[in-house]
Amino acid sequence: MKAKSSTEKLREYVDLFLNSPTSNVHDLKILPNYFNAQLSGAKRFEVRCADRDYNVGDFLVLNEWDGEKYTGRKLEVTITYILGGYDFDGLVPGFVILGTSDAVEVKQ
């Protein structure tokens, strides 16, 4: 099976977003080592403060942040699964683990 190109993946995500009126877009900071792990596919999750109304099908725009400024690099992923503190006693209350789709780098 042939791997999908970044353009094909992005089209799928855009189609999913346009056909899912309840999806939200969350703009988030991400450090370079985590950005690169998401981009390579080694990391398919985000551990985040549960300060937003995250839902399966929502989109995350991950903006690379070097600790002082944004680098201009961005990734888009879709939330595929949510594990909250109510589901798992080992997770600090107030945090969630978000399962994510393949990352697509947004070229500017």
Whole-structure pTM value: 0.78
Q: Which tens digits make up the pLDDT trace of 7-33? A: 676 666 666 655 555 679 999 999 999
Q: Which tens digits make up the pLDDT trace of 36-52? A: 999 999 999 999 999 99
CA 63 to chain centre: 10
Domain boundaries, the chain: 23-106
Name the superfamily (CATH) of residues 23-106: Hypothetical protein. (2.30.130.30)
Residues near 74 by beta carbon (within 8 Å), at least 6 away in sequence: 61, 62, 63, 64, 105, 106, 108
